[in-house]
A and B are shown apart, each in its own frame.
Chain A
Amino acid sequence: MLTTQEIGSIRKPRYLVDKYREYLSGETSYESLLPYIRGASLDTLRMLEAAGLDWVFDGEMHRWEMYYHPVVNIEGIEIAGQVRVWDNYYFIKGRVVDKPRLKRDYHYEEAKYIVGNSSRPVKFPVTGPYTLADWSFNEYYTRELGSMGREARYEAKRRLAIDLARDVINPILKRLSTLGLRRIQIDEPAATTHPGEMDIVVEAFREAVKGVEKEVSIHICYSDYRILLPYMESFGAVQFTLEFANRDSWELGVDDDKRIGYRLLKDLKEMGYGLELGLGVIDVHVDRVEPPELVRDRILYAAKYIEPEKLYINPDCGLRTRSRDIAYYKLRNMVLGTLMARERLL
């Protein structure tokens, strides 16, 4: 009950960032980079184990970034350049110039290494097909269908997302499921960006997990979850891992006026939500460390609406936004708060 897990990313140590930059600028080979990746991977696994998490991962040390890492390994997608997210924050975006095909299985070796070096069960995150489609410039399918008109753009997006799901993500997941992973998590932060495309999100997810003999959960954050509610049961995921703490107050208590960030739970209960729920109890956008008592109260509040057996405890999102020290303290308090909640609920 109340299994604790992380979400995905942890900030890379400085030595690894520097080495990655050398690699990305062509100054060094992947073979030279790999020992640094492996070192940081082990450091991070030990850090998460020391924090007391039940399920662990290596914080994406094998990946530069959740979008860049897949697209450089997909044939048919070329890097276009930097595009603004907000202020002076940019992300590298790709152009889909041909039907996407897997160039290289970009997760198998990574997962094998992590499983082989962890003393705890591993939950392994994979960027989902819809997010890859939504964050790319869709040239190939737009050329086929045209860009003018909602219908044409919807269909162009659908074809790209489904092809990515079938020809890129599905083969990766099938190979991953032969390893000793406890669970695979599909990350779809873009899922609710276009409310009119929720059908595509669901269809692409189902296509991606078709024939995969491993439990698959889905993580969606910083989204309008009201858009998601009517579709949740149709994904076929065992768990939705969602963000709540970012919306919540820091006051202790288990009443509605204290747990304002968790109002969605009432909606979930009303709609008869019967899946596992990954409960975000740690805000990844502030350095302030949540006291264990706050974590406890967030869990106890959630237990009013979701059976405790179905509750999993995690941060809102990946903790790469914080220093490694802060990330550790936050995770440690998350575990302590979970222990306190377990005692109350048992």
Chain B
Amino acid sequence: MGIWSDMPEAFPVGIFPRSDRLIRTWKAYERGEVDEEELNRVYIVHLHEVYRAMVDTGVSYTHDPQSNWHDIFRPFTKMPGIEAGPVTRWYENNTFYRMPIIKEPRFSPGVMDGYLGRQVEKFDLLSLPGPYTMARLSRLETGAEEVSNLIYRAVNYVLGKGYRKVFLHEPEIVYRELDARLLEKLYKPFKDLDIVIHTYFGDVSKICRILDSLGIDYTADLMETPLEKVRECKSRILGAVDGANTLLEDPGELVQKIRSVVGDEFTVINNVDLDFLPYSYALEKLRLLGRIRGGV
């Protein structure tokens, strides 16, 4: 994606962690010690800080930190016809989400607006749940197509708000055996939209022929997908920076390693949300992505 230069494109994807100050304020808000206005004020400061950090590090694109999302499904569970259900483990992590209980879902622009950082800063990218993963991880009391319709409306809405591209999080398609027919059905309406199917927690090389046939860009999690197997896929958006470990990769070594296997044209992202890290380490990973982009 984007214009090719001699160094790879590099940018963050997914939910960015809350700063310690935002966590503290949010706790105080939950205890009734500060009001919503104060919480919003601190959140806006956080958005400015993260935006400035992204711009200063020189990453190719800025991504909305979405730090007021409790999990990837949360704005949707506030929309009509969807509820936040039981706390449920998020794959193989010590992280949990509220399982959506989906009855008759209706997209709500008003709810969505409250979760968009672009109301404050001009972020380029946004993450949303992919329809396949959302359908599979929810308690569905309606058809999966309703989830697809909901996300389709959300994608159109946020693109209309000025986001340049939306990453649809689809760990489910690589974590468990894929229902290819369902995937195709759910993605039918999305073909001409500026989206990327974001895969992680599994080896995408096993299903990349299916994804290639969809005609939609997708990402590969290099912690799970062998680098040499990526050559068999069309995708060159590579989750090469480990978003779940504080260990900082050597940017030169990393780029060289990838280049030696897949050639010159590729994009580097974090494989999973930087929300798995404390705020200060997420900022370090951001700088790392900036250094990859800047050729340092």
Known contacts A193-B94, A194-B92, then 18 further A-B pairs from the complex at CB < 8 Å, ordered by chain A residue: A81-B278, A81-B279, A81-B281, A82-B20, A84-B275, A85-B94, A85-B95, A86-B95, A86-B97, A87-B71, A87-B98, A88-B18, A88-B30, A137-B246, A143-B247, A147-B249, A148-B226, A153-B223
Assembly CA distance A143 to B280 (angstroms):
20
Q: Which of B273-289 contact A (CB under 8 A)?
A: 275-281
B27 located at the interface, meaning its Cβ lies under 8 Å from any Cβ of chain A in the complex:
yes
* Contact partners of B94 in chain A: CB under 8 A: 85, 91, 134-135, 190, 193
Assembly CA distance A87 to B97 (angstroms):
8
B260 located at the interface, meaning its Cβ lies under 8 Å from any Cβ of chain A in the complex:
no
B83 located at the interface, meaning its Cβ lies under 8 Å from any Cβ of chain A in the complex:
no
| Contact B245 A83, beta carbon cutoff 8 Å | no
| Min CB–CB distance A35 → chain B (angstroms) | 28
| Min CB–CB distance B86 → chain A (angstroms) | 10
Residue from A82, A85, A147 within 8 A of B96 (CB atoms): A85
Assembly CA distance A80 to B247 (angstroms):
11
A149 located at the interface, meaning its Cβ lies under 8 Å from any Cβ of chain B in the complex:
yes
Find the A residue at minimum CB distance from B254.
Answer: A148
| Contact B222 A142, beta carbon cutoff 8 Å | no
| Min CB–CB distance A218 → chain B (angstroms) | 18
* Contact partners of B278 in chain A: CB under 8 A: 80-83, 93
B131-149 CB mask vs A (1 if < 8 Å, else 0) is: 0000000000000000000
Assembly CA distance A135 to B276 (angstroms):
11
Assembly CA distance A137 to B281 (angstroms):
11
Assembly CA distance A143 to B245 (angstroms):
11
Q: Which of A159-207 contact B (CB under 8 A)?
A: 190, 193-195
A150 located at the interface, meaning its Cβ lies under 8 Å from any Cβ of chain B in the complex:
yes
**Are A86 and B246 CB-contacts (below 8 A) given A93-B278, A153-B223?**
no
* Contact partners of B44 in chain A: CB under 8 A: none
Assembly CA distance A83 to B279 (angstroms):
8
| Contact A148 B70, beta carbon cutoff 8 Å | no
A138 located at the interface, meaning its Cβ lies under 8 Å from any Cβ of chain B in the complex:
yes
In the complex, the number of residue pairs spanning A and B with C-beta atoms less than 8 Å apart equals: 80
Residue from B23, B87, B281 within 8 A of A88 (CB atoms): B23
* Contact partners of A193 in chain B: CB under 8 A: 89, 92-94
B26 located at the interface, meaning its Cβ lies under 8 Å from any Cβ of chain A in the complex:
yes
* Contact partners of B96 in chain A: CB under 8 A: 85-86
Find the B residue at minimum CB distance from A86.
Answer: B96
Residue from A84, A85, A139, A149 within 8 A of B18 (CB atoms): A84
| Contact B70 A82, beta carbon cutoff 8 Å | no
| Min CB–CB distance B169 → chain A (angstroms) | 16
Assembly CA distance A95 to B278 (angstroms):
11
B17 located at the interface, meaning its Cβ lies under 8 Å from any Cβ of chain A in the complex:
yes
**Are A148 and B247 CB-contacts (below 8 A) given A82-B23, A88-B30, A193-B94?**
no
A113 located at the interface, meaning its Cβ lies under 8 Å from any Cβ of chain B in the complex:
no
Q: Can you list 8 A-B pairs, Cβ within 8 angstroms, ordered by A?
A: A88-B30, A137-B277, A138-B247, A139-B246, A148-B222, A193-B89, A193-B92, A194-B92
Q: Which of B240-276 contact A (CB under 8 A)?
A: 240, 242, 245-247, 249, 275-276
A30 located at the interface, meaning its Cβ lies under 8 Å from any Cβ of chain B in the complex:
no
A90 located at the interface, meaning its Cβ lies under 8 Å from any Cβ of chain B in the complex:
yes
| Contact B277 A139, beta carbon cutoff 8 Å | no
Assembly CA distance A86 to B98 (angstroms):
8
Find the A residue at minimum CB distance from B202.
Answer: A150
Assembly CA distance A87 to B69 (angstroms):
8
Assembly CA distance A153 to B17 (angstroms):
24
Assembly CA distance A87 to B15 (angstroms):
13
| Min CB–CB distance B262 → chain A (angstroms) | 13
| Contact A150 B245, beta carbon cutoff 8 Å | no
Find the A residue at minimum CB distance from B244.
Answer: A137
A44-88 CB mask vs B (1 if < 8 Å, else 0) is: 000000000000000000000000000000000000111111111
Assembly CA distance A86 to B77 (angstroms):
15
**Are A95 and B246 CB-contacts (below 8 A) given A83-B277, A83-B278, A88-B23?**
yes
| Min CB–CB distance A346 → chain B (angstroms) | 39
B72 located at the interface, meaning its Cβ lies under 8 Å from any Cβ of chain A in the complex:
no
**Are A81 and B222 CB-contacts (below 8 A) given A142-B245, A194-B92?**
no
